[in-house]
């Protein structure tokens, strides 16, 4: 999937059973081959950016996106910004 308003591209790693509206920079994410609508612009309130190779998830953890091309937009699902997923801590070797 790719953003309609910035360079961000993502791959869906995990998705919930129900349909979810995904956005980046305040505009819908597009599937391969979909055309960008006219008049779409990056919203200032949704311009925190994405980082290459980072995973983004929702609060429940049932949605996970991997950023394969960074951009200026903020990823969101159903209007709620996704958060960058942190690394799992390794067990101690004591």
Q: Which residues of the chain have pLDDT under 50?
A: none
pLDDT of res. 90: 84
Domain ranges of the chain: 2-32+42-84
Q: Give the Cα separation of 50 and 73 in Å (integer).
A: 7
pTM: 0.86
pLDDT of res. 92: 82
pLDDT of res. 94: 64
Residue with tokens 């969101």: 76
pLDDT of res. 40: 87
Contact 60, 10 (CB under 8 A): no
Contact 73, 47 (CB under 8 A): yes
Q: Give the Cα separation of 86 and 91 in Å (integer).
A: 15
- Among 74, 76, 69, smallest CA distance to 7 is for 69
């Amino acid at each position: 999937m790719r953003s309609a308003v910035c360079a961000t591209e993502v791959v869906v790693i995990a998705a919930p059973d129900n349909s979810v509206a995904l956005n980046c920079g305040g505009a819908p994410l597009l599937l391969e081959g979909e055309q960008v609508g006219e008049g779409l612009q990056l919203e200032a309130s949704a311009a925190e950016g994405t980082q290459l190779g980072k995973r983004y998830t929702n609060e429940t953890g049932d949605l996970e996106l991997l950023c394969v091309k960074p951009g200026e937009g903020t990823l969101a699902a159903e209007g709620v910004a996704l958060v960058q997923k942190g690394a799992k801590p390794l067990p101690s070797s004591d």
